[in-house]
Amino acid sequence: MFGSVSRRSLLGGAAGLALAPSLGRDASAQQRTRLRMAWWGSTDRARRTQAALEVYQRKNANTQVDTESVGWNDYWTRLATQVAGGNAPDVIQMDYRYIYEYARRRALKPLDEFVPAPLNITDFGQANIDTGKVDGQIFGVSMGVNSTAMFYDKTAFERLNIRPPDHNTTWAQFAELCTNMTRAANRRGFFGTMDAGFVEPAFEAFVRQRGKSLYNGDGRLGFVRDDLAEYWDYWDRLRKAGGAAQGDIQALYRSTPETDLITSGRAAVTFAHSNQLVAWQAVTQNRLGMTMYPKGDRPGQYYKPSMLLSMSATTTQAREAASIINFIVGDADAAPALGVERGVPPSARMRQAVLPTTDELGRAQIEYIALLADKTSPLPPPPPRGAGEVEQLLRRVYETISVGGARVPAAVDQFMAEAPRILERA
């Protein structure tokens, strides 16, 4: 049939020439559905995801999933460009930081119509479903639960016979412990902890422990001058006491596992996210342990979706895309390949499937998430536009203290003046 139509169109001349390519595409589409899926992350993540997708393609022989995987920074550049060019991937790994922006600009497709079939997320628990909602509609499905976490170098602590921090360690005890650690190690360029004065999640936990927040509901700063001053003062003192890394060594950190001071043997403690334990452990010989951030008066940490899966608003294969999302977050066959590299699966049956196949790192993560159960507070609203720039500002201004030798009050003034301007402009 295709042949006869094609011949007639050819006789039709120009019209036929215009038609032929589209007919060709339709014909091949019947044989094979092609979709694109994109995510950010390490090569380890790429390997795992591709392995899982291969299982999917074996089960669904008519589907071909093309993958795109890049680092965090390049990912958002690329995605924004693709969306602007009408060329977005069908299945998009999304971050909580960006989901409101993308959903409200109609770059994502609501997923409600695909629930419960093909997208079965009934065993996620309401809280985990809600983390993907924007204005009442589901725009993202949580891929894993994580939280902020402190990693410590188990090997180094054991060698020096010092007790590592645990979830009952207060900020004051933590400072003392780190100073002791530096002194005990007595090695040039090695410190008890990284300097987390610029680490936004650590600062967020600190202000939440004081009953404040990073941002309030209407997108303005949720803390005051004194909160920041006290936080920076804490780190400034700890650095000057030798407990935290000196400024120009800390400035070598580039937000990648291999430049972190803990993996390059320059600090015994680092501030990170629980699911990152897998990536961080992969680049160091020393064994890493994980515990909560230092303790305050109130809970500072919270559960969050480590990342979400969303669907492009412009996809032509919505049902198939939903079925891929379902496979990744809810099909036991995907579990062995994916493990807990993206955090602990929110789906109960996924967790069951992951448990027997998981290694020590995976179990540590699952136990950590369980440990937090009664020590967290609710997820804050997503950060407002401009939050990414404020995060950079926090680092830049803190570095004027840690590397530039500025005094804390002056730096705090600078931050408190510039941050609202950024938020206003965004």
Partner 1 sequence: MATTRQDVSAGRIARPAETARRKPIDRQDGAAYMFLSPWLAGLFLLTLGPTLVSLYLSFTQFDLLQAPRWNGLANYERMFTEDQRFRNALSVTFWYVGLSVPLKLAVALAIALVLDKGLRGLTLYRALLYLPSLLGGSVAIAFLWRRIFAYDGLVNEVLAMAIGFDGPSWISNPNYSIYTLVILRAWQFGSPMIIFLAGLRQIPQDLYEAAAIDGAGPVTQFFRITLPLLAPVVFFNLVLQTIDAFKAFTPAFIISGGTGGPIDSTLFYTLYLYQEAFAYFRMGYASALAWVLLVIIAVFTAIYFLTSRYWVYYQDER
Residue span 97-126 as binding mask against partner 1, x where in contact by CB under 8 A, dash where not = ----xx--x-x-------------------
Spatial separation of the C-alpha atoms in residues 177 and 179, rounded to whole Å:
6
Which of 54, 248, 359, 424 binds partner 1 (CB under 8 A)? It is 248
How far from 68 is each of 40, 71, 140, CA to CA, in Å? 8, 10, 19
Using alpha carbons, select from 252, 125, 134, 147 the residue that is nearest to residue 202.
147
Kindly identify the residues of this chain, within the stretch 364-403, that bind partner 1 according to CB under 8 A. 386, 388-389, 392, 395-396, 399-400, 403
Quickly count: other Cβ atoms within 10 Å of residue 132's Cβ: 25
137, with CB counted inside 10 A (0-12, 13-18, 19+), is middle
Site for partner 1 in 185-214 (CB under 8 A): 189
Alpha-carbon distance of 361 to 279, in angstroms, equals 10
Query: Which residue has tokens 């496979």?
Result: 327
Per rule CB under 8 A, is residue 134 in the interface with partner 1? no
219 binds partner 1 (CB under 8 A): no
- 3-state class of 184 per DSSP? helix
Tell me whether residue 283 is exposed, middle or buried, using C-beta atoms within 10 angstroms of its C-beta: 0 to 12, 13 to 18, 19 or more. Answer: middle
Q: Does 259 bind partner 1 (CB under 8 A)?
A: yes
- Name the one range near partner 1 by CB under 8 A: 80-88, 163-171, 236-244, 277-285: 80-88
> For partner 1, which is the closer residue by CB, 314 or 376?
314
Per CB under 8 A, the list member of 84, 172, 224, 348 interacting with partner 1 is 84
Strands 304-305 and 145-146: antiparallel
Residue from 249, 279, 290, 329 binding partner 1 (CB under 8 A): 249
Please provide the size of the chain in residues: 426
Establish if 83 lies at the interface with partner 1 (CB under 8 A). Answer: yes
Q: Is 15 helix (H, G, I), strand (E, B) or coil?
A: helix
Q: Check residue 164 for interaction with partner 1 (CB under 8 A).
A: no
Q: Is 286 in the site for partner 1 (CB under 8 A)?
A: no
Pick the closest to residue 192 from 161, 159, 152, 231 (CA basis).
Answer: 152
Choice between 200 and 399, CB closer to partner 1: 399
35-43, 59-67, 207-215, 251-259 -> range binding partner 1 (CB under 8 A): 251-259
Residue from 81, 170, 352, 357 binding partner 1 (CB under 8 A): 81
* Among 162, 251, 282, 379, interactor with partner 1 by CB under 8 A: 251
Q: What residues make contact with partner 1 under the rule CB under 8 A?
A: 73, 76-77, 80-81, 83-84, 101-102, 105, 107, 189, 247-249, 251-252, 254-256, 259, 386, 388-389, 392, 395-396, 399-400, 403-404, 426
